[in-house]
Chains A and B, each alone.
Chain A
Amino acid sequence: MNDALGHRSSGSIAQMLTPPSKKSSISCSVPSLELRRISKRFGETQALSEASLVILPGEIHALLGENGAGKSTLVSIAAGRLAADSGQILRGGSPVSFRRARDARDAGLALVPQHDLLIGAASVADNLSLLDPAAPFFESAPTRRARVAYLAEVFAFDLGDADARVDSLPVGTRQRIEIAGALAGDPEVLILDEPTAVLSPDETAALFASLRRRADAGGAVVLITHRLAEVFAGADRLTLLARGRSVKTCRVSETTPEEIGGLLIAGAEGAVEKKEKEGEKIFLEGKENGVAREDAAVQAERLGAPGGSFTLEEKRRYRNLEVSGFAPNVASVVRAESVSLSLSPGELLVLLAIDGNGADTIARAIAGLEGFSGRVEVGGVPLPTSGDPLAFRAAGGAFVPADRREEGLVAGLSLSENLALPDPPGRIFLDRAAMQARAGERLVAFGIRAASSAALAGSLSGGNQQKVVLARELAQRPRVLVAVHPTRGLDLASAAAIRSRILDACRSGSAALVVTADPDETQLFGAPLRVVYRGRLSAPFAPTTPVERLSRLMAGLAA
């Protein structure tokens, strides 16, 4: 196993750093790794139910699935980071059990997880030494540099200057350092959790080239990704997970992006619910016609603005949201560039994107939670580019974050207290009566199920928490509502309720920008949409665009 870097007690660096050998001894019929009927539960959530995965030697195997399908959980179990509730792991045909990450590593499995594994303040050479399980107790600087040079050469990776601080390097280089670190132990099975999420197209191509060399040498590669284009360009086989189950495994050559795209979406929704959703769609379409297309001037007039012809200044004033030449300042390769969009009263725009394409950071930056360059105006008021949530709100903005537990609510405060923020009533003392009244009214209006308005926000279910967030955000009749994945993880009834609240708000003059990863949701909103892929916004599409076409666009395939 450690033929590359394991035996370094004697001999020169060149000697101990021999290239990995081709593992011809392993028969192709015996899988390198097999996960059989793995189940795992986290509290209320069944993350995996009898999911299976078979990895053959010499292949690049793509693991696909929507967010929350259980991909990361499955590979964490394979790598010994998590213990499965039930199921079996076979390595080279014989059952194994991993109690710790080290056991999996010793068995020749390496996982590069999604989160950052490097020490920013240390050099490339130091980081790679730390990632090498066979590194000796003491190591001189030249030996560490030699490791960098060796790994760079063997895997044809540009790892940057060995003495450079890692936090000074571009994200693509950091990604390669992490992968090189995992490869240093010469694992037979290399598992990469969304390695391409932060890479540019060129970097992605380089990564796939080196993974292919790895597979040709007999190693197995498991790759989690959201990008179908990559899968069809670079992988040999794929396994699709949906709601914790493995729903399809096949050779890439035996299927098409359309089929997999369709399965991905169907899997995310579930067949029965899909039908219900269609029913809901018909119901909503009856009600919603025309709302999204209401003319800005008409809307402005209805809101009491002067009628007749508008000057440019006036038009700008009655634009609820105006974004131009905009780019969020976030440290990621996939970031939006030069975004322009504008919303008038009553308008709703859906940004449709697979996670990691920059749609959520666009929304966060508009809401003032990230800095940005370019121009953002809410109701004609320009917002500071440093990112200021207070300015966004003062101009009439409202925001529903993706992470409702971390950013949406104060879990340790009661419902009435949460609903009273950010400007609680009362001159000297809190007007508890007003708070209770407001909370009571909101609980009923939004159908929030809670014991009382004195219940802690943290004690509510996810769907009810999201309704509380929306109830608070819509209380001030915002000019613009920015909502990120407002229905993610909610049951069907809650999701429908959330959507109809957002549409209600638009009907009474607000504008809304909704980020979602679910193409069906755009139809349910009945609003125009733009697809975000790698930070680029597509031209607007009608809500009636077929889901198949949308999922191709989301995956970066030509429509």
Chain B
Amino acid sequence: MKRESTARHLAVAATALLAAAAALLGLALLAGASPLDALRSLAEGAVGSNAALGETLARATALVLTATGASLAFRAGVLNIGLEGQFLAGALAAAAVGPLLSGAPGLARAGLLVAGALAGALWVLPAAFLEARRGVPEVLSTILLNLVAAAAVSGLVRGALRDPAGDYPQSRALADAVRLAPLVAGSRATAAILVALALALLVALVLERTPLGLKLRATGLAPAASRAIGLPGARLRLLAFTASGALAGLAGSLEVLAVTGRLYDPFSAGAGYTGIAAALLGGSHPLGAAASALFFAALGAGSSAMQRDTGVPGALATIVPGVLVLAVLAARARLTPKGA
């Protein structure tokens, strides 16, 4: 996951945004709506009011964290495709631990988040072990772990974690005192988004400004040289891998704490995968990734409004990130001379 020069990255990003805009307009036309109306409705639904902005920020929380986690892993040369599973592991831990925690809400929240981050980090370990000991590509093992995590959520909300009071297969709700209150009345945004953005900034600082970050980047850029230079490559990779898992796990527990209040099935709308898309669009820089995550969240919030107002299906919000990533990959392939 090499980073390119800023100018080249801007060129790639511009190409991608053009492709996304074309996709957006094309799909709106396909759905028989006026592209201008659709865009207006999309924008209003994303940032047009306090409620709309709140919706965007609420959706962004998980994405910012998974995108940060993906950036951290990619920069250290770890292809962590398991963010989805690590996100679910964190949510599962929060749902399991949450109702048990009593006492001061602050303490309960902290315990819940620590449990989530821990679960996300633990969910990485089988993949890290297989990679270090057997040379099994982390891509394969993390995909399998995603499956197992999804299965665990699905099974546990019907089994051990099921809320006996409810009709649906879902876990018991967190106490209202523990759940995060909105920052502004009438908005869904909570302090969780601030936590997520602060962590993105922190990871950016670690990567760009600390000795550890320099070592991580060197390992990701040139594994053979880093080994010869005497960097502990295996340890650095493991560190980046588990830290990215912890970030995804934290995203899962924050989702329970701030947005849903409980676990149900299916729980994730692909936060792990969209996070990877955001990281790629942001050049694997945590701040670029966070900005991309905010953009995708706005797209998600806006497309719901667009569907309501103009009838253009809201699934557009899933298509556009995918198109963006494909456009980035294609633009890079064109901009990279052969054999380089």
Interface-facing stretch out of B47-55, B110-118, B137-145, B212-220: B212-220
Residue pair B211, A425 in contact (C-beta under 8 Å): yes
Interface bracket on B = 20 to 34
Contact partners of B225 in chain A: CB under 8 A:
406-410
> CA–CA, A165 to B95, complex, Å?
52
User: Is B32 close to A, CB under 8 A?
Assistant: no
Residue pair B224, A406 in contact (C-beta under 8 Å): yes
Residue pair A412, B214 in contact (C-beta under 8 Å): no
Contact partners of A390 in chain B: CB under 8 A:
230, 232
Residue pair B228, A369 in contact (C-beta under 8 Å): yes
Question: CB-nearest residue of chain A relative to B212?
Answer: A424
Question: CB-nearest residue of chain B relative to A393?
Answer: B230
> CA–CA, A421 to B231, complex, Å?
8
Residue pair A411, B222 in contact (C-beta under 8 Å): yes
User: Is B221 close to A, CB under 8 A?
Assistant: yes
User: Is A180 close to B, CB under 8 A?
Assistant: no
**In whole Å, how far is A413's beta carbon from the nearest beta carbon of chain B?**
6
> CA–CA, A417 to B230, complex, Å?
15
Residue pair A421, B228 in contact (C-beta under 8 Å): no
Contact partners of B231 in chain A: CB under 8 A:
421-422
> CA–CA, A428 to B213, complex, Å?
11
For chain A, residues 406 to 465, give those with C-beta under 8 angstroms from any C-beta of chain B: 406-413, 417, 420-426, 428-430
> CA–CA, A472 to B211, complex, Å?
16
User: Is B260 close to A, CB under 8 A?
Assistant: no
> CA–CA, A429 to B221, complex, Å?
21
Residue pair A410, B222 in contact (C-beta under 8 Å): yes
User: Is B2 close to A, CB under 8 A?
Assistant: yes
**In whole Å, how far is B106's beta carbon from the nearest beta carbon of chain A?**
27
- Checking A389, A406, A424 against B214 with a beta-carbon cut-off of 8 angstroms, the contacting residue is A424
Q: Which of B209, B213, B228 has the most chain A CB within a 10 Å cutoff?
A: B228
**In whole Å, how far is B208's beta carbon from the nearest beta carbon of chain A?**
8
Contact partners of B3 in chain A: CB under 8 A:
412
User: Is A401 close to B, CB under 8 A?
Assistant: yes
Contact partners of A409 in chain B: CB under 8 A:
222, 225
Interface string of B179-221 (1 = CB under 8 A from A): 0000000000000000000000000010001110111011001
Given contacts A417-B214, A423-B211, A410 and B221 within 8 Å (CB-CB)? yes
For chain B, residues 211 to 248, give those with C-beta under 8 angstroms from any C-beta of chain A: 211, 213-215, 217-218, 221-222, 224-232
> CA–CA, A392 to B231, complex, Å?
12
Contact partners of A422 in chain B: CB under 8 A:
215, 229-231
Given contacts A410-B222, A412-B222, A413-B221, A367 and B214 within 8 Å (CB-CB)? no
Given contacts A421-B215, A430-B211, A369 and B227 within 8 Å (CB-CB)? yes
**In whole Å, how far is B74's beta carbon from the nearest beta carbon of chain A?**
13
> CA–CA, A417 to B229, complex, Å?
13
**In whole Å, how far is B222's beta carbon from the nearest beta carbon of chain A?**
4
Residue pair A408, B228 in contact (C-beta under 8 Å): yes
Given contacts A389-B230, A401-B228, A421-B231, A412 and B221 within 8 Å (CB-CB)? yes
Interface of A is mostly: loop
Question: CB-nearest residue of chain B relative to A420?
Answer: B214
> CA–CA, A547 to B256, complex, Å?
77
- Checking B209, B217, B228 against A399 with a beta-carbon cut-off of 8 angstroms, the contacting residue is B228
- Checking B2, B210, B221, B227 against A389 with a beta-carbon cut-off of 8 angstroms, the contacting residue is B227
Contact partners of B211 in chain A: CB under 8 A:
423-426, 430
Question: CB-nearest residue of chain B relative to A368?
Answer: B230
Given contacts A393-B230, A421-B231, A430 and B221 within 8 Å (CB-CB)? no
> CA–CA, A412 to B231, complex, Å?
16
**In whole Å, how far is A120's beta carbon from the nearest beta carbon of chain B?**
15
> CA–CA, A91 to B211, complex, Å?
61
> CA–CA, A369 to B226, complex, Å?
11
Question: CB-nearest residue of chain B relative to A456?
Answer: B5
Q: Which of A410, A412, A423, A425 has the most chain B CB within a 10 Å cutoff?
A: A410
Contact partners of A417 in chain B: CB under 8 A:
214, 218
For chain B, residues 1 to 55, give those with C-beta under 8 angstroms from any C-beta of chain A: 2-3
> CA–CA, A413 to B208, complex, Å?
11
**In whole Å, how far is B115's beta carbon from the nearest beta carbon of chain A?**
28
Residue pair A429, B215 in contact (C-beta under 8 Å): no
**In whole Å, how far is B205's beta carbon from the nearest beta carbon of chain A?**
8
Question: CB-nearest residue of chain B relative to A424?
Answer: B211
Given contacts A389-B228, A422-B229, A422-B231, A428 and B218 within 8 Å (CB-CB)? no
Residue pair A430, B232 in contact (C-beta under 8 Å): no
- Checking A367, A406, A421 against B218 with a beta-carbon cut-off of 8 angstroms, the contacting residue is A421
- 21 A-B residue contacts at CB 8 Å? A406-B224, A406-B225, A407-B228, A410-B221, A410-B222, A411-B221, A411-B222, A412-B3, A412-B221, A412-B222, A413-B218, A417-B214, A417-B218, A420-B214, A421-B218, A421-B226, A421-B229, A422-B231, A424-B211, A426-B210, A472-B229
Which residues of B come within 8 Å of A, CB atoms?
Answer: 2-3, 205, 209-211, 213-215, 217-218, 221-222, 224-232
Shortest 5 CB-CB distances between A and B: which pairs? A424-B211, A393-B230, A412-B221, A407-B228, A410-B222
